[in-house]
Amino acid sequence: MSAAKARPRNVLTTLGYALLGLLRQGPASGYALRKVFETTPMGVYSSSPGTIYPAIRRLQAKGLVHRLPASASPTGKAAFALTEAGTNALRDWLRRPIAREDVVRKAPELLLRFVFLHLVEDASITRRFLEDFRRHAASYLEELESLRGAVSDQIPRHSLLALEHGIEAFRAHRTWADHALLQTE
Amino acid sequence: MSAAKARPRNVLTTLGYALLGLLRQGPASGYALRKVFETTPMGVYSSSPGTIYPAIRRLQAKGLVHRLPASASPTGKAAFALTEAGTNALRDWLRRPIAREDVVRKAPELLLRFVFLHLVEDASITRRFLEDFRRHAASYLEELESLRGAVSDQIPRHSLLALEHGIEAFRAHRTWADHALLQTE
DNA sequence: GATCACATGTAAGAAGTTACATGATTCT
DNA sequence: AGAATCATGTAACTTCTTACATGTGATC
């Protein structure tokens, strides 16, 4: 199920930021962007034309993206490219501090941010991202574990198992963050 | 970001099934249902009135839920309750075979199904659910691992780390399914 | 008597889904 | 020439979000 909030004018949907991130690596056609969502494991988002093209339109309307004529494009074909405002919007999103709630409920969006984080030069940003991610994941993990301790003999077995799924999931988050921090020395 | 597909008349949104599942445990007011989403870790869904009440309305319109007058309700207050069609719709959803794509992209919905699965008497259904879940998770895990082997020296470090996050996540799914299968002997 | 918690709704707007449509290029 | 891929769009529909609105019963 996917989304539709009444959103303040200047904030984008996750898909919007994903498009900005992809365009940051160089101009691309809408079709090429669709292919990325279709063929890579990044494809949490729908690649259907009815999703992508309107999304690009919205970015254009906000002045974050512009059409590059075939003549001005490196590949010789028409393509979309980031404007300076688009580059800034992407950077602001990437640098946004991460809240506990984000780790708990929106981990996929954070992972998307992480992928594009290498586009932001400052390596300390990446470290801070991972440290915050680790801290929040560990904190929620503790909460779930103490919840299990408290309710384990009062709730149906299936509910307990579902809770334990959450515990495994956040343990995996923490494990990964530790691993990533080692790689980011 | 949340959802809005053009959905065949007879199929429900995940929130719809969540409501059916909660009502299966007994009649409840809309307010009580909201509280569940607000206070339990099941609360992936918004608990705002603008979300819940229209959702209940849609269930009523489909004949899956009906209003219980205060006099007929066990608590002495007006409440909503499942109709027979609602009970059937819930059971069909719970018994639906699980596809690999569901494990890959819609694990939260599957976990929700699992929580309500104890409402379906047949224990073999639970076993089949867990076996399929485990199989698909393990299969996707292998795919990700072999992808890592193939691309590890060709993609940016952050992309590789994101891929490894996926690997940790599906390893956790598999670990959990093994654990749950043991408990479901 | 005032302030919570209970209880239920509506209105405006955004964004996604499916399905339909169209045309240009490139491959076979 | 016909098929597949490239490429871009629109229309109808659904559901969600935020914010506003209203009233009742219990508690302090």
HEC string of chain B equals CCCCCCCCCCCCCHHHHHHHHHHHCCCECHHHHHHHHHHCCCCCCCCCHHHHHHHHHHHHHCCCEEEECHHHCCCCCCEEEECHHHHHHHHHHHHCCCCHHHHHHCHHHHHHHHHHHHHCCCHHHHHHHHHHHHHHHHHHHHHHHHHHHHHCCCCCHHHHHHHHHHHHHHHHHHHHHHHHHHHCC
Quickly state the pLDDT bin for A43 (edges 50, 70, 90): low
CA of A136 to C1' of C20 (A): 46
In chain B, which residue's Cα lies nearest the Cα of A109? Answer: B1
Which residues are CB-contacts of B92 (< 8 A; sequence separation ≥ 6)?
none
Residue B44 has pLDDT above 80, yes or no: no
User: Which residues of chain B have a CB within 8 Å of the CB of A163?
Assistant: 41
How high is the pLDDT of residue A183? 93
How high is the pLDDT of residue A8? 61
Report how far apart, in Å, the C-alpha atoms of A142 and of each of A115, A135, A139, A167, B107 are.
27, 11, 5, 9, 22
| Cβ contacts, strand D, under 7 angstroms | A 1, 3-6, 29-32, 34-35, 49-50, 53-54, 56-57, 77-79; B 2-7, 9, 12-16, 45-46, 48-51, 54-55, 58
Residue A85 has pLDDT above 60, yes or no: yes
Residue B27 has pLDDT above 80, yes or no: yes
B166 and A41 in contact by Cβ < 8 A?
yes
How high is the pLDDT of residue B170? 98
Percent of chain A whose pLDDT exceeds 90:
78
Per-residue pLDDT reduced to its tens digit, A104-162: 999 999 999 999 999 987 889 999 999 999 999 999 999 999 999 999 999 999 999 99
User: Which residues of chain A have a CB within 8 Å of the CB of B105?
Assistant: 44
| Cβ contacts, strand C, under 7 angstroms | A 2-7, 12-16, 45-46, 48-51, 54-55, 58; B 1, 3-6, 29-32, 34-35, 49-50, 53-54, 56-57, 77-79
> Could you tell me if A119 lies within 8 Å of chain B, comparing CB atoms?
no
A3 and B5 in contact by Cβ < 8 A?
no
Nucleotide with C1' nearest the B11 CA: D14
Could you say which nucleotides of strand C lie within 7 A of any protein CB atom? 6-21
> Could you tell me if A7 lies within 8 Å of chain B, comparing CB atoms?
no
In chain B, which residue's Cα lies nearest the Cα of A168? Answer: B172
Average pLDDT over chain A, rounded to whole? 91
As a whole number, mean pLDDT of residues B71-92 equals 88
Residue A3 has pLDDT above 70, yes or no: no
Nucleotide with C1' nearest the A4 CA: C15
Task: Measure CA to C1' and name the residue nearest C16.
Answer: B4
Residue B3 has pLDDT above 60, yes or no: no
As a whole number, mean pLDDT of residues B61-74 equals 86
Per-residue pLDDT reduced to its tens digit, B130-173: 999 999 999 999 999 999 999 999 999 999 999 999 999 999 99
As a whole number, mean pLDDT of residues A37-64 equals 90
Quickly state the pLDDT bin for A1 (edges 50, 70, 90): very low
Residue A71 has pLDDT above 90, yes or no: no
Task: Measure CA to C1' and name the residue nearest D7.
Answer: A31
A115 and B158 in contact by Cβ < 8 A?
yes
A4 and B3 in contact by Cβ < 8 A?
yes
Residue B72 has pLDDT above 80, yes or no: no
Task: Measure CA to C1' and name the residue nearest C12.
Answer: A6
Interface of B with A in 140-159 (CB under 8 A): 144, 147, 156-159
How high is the pLDDT of residue B8? 62
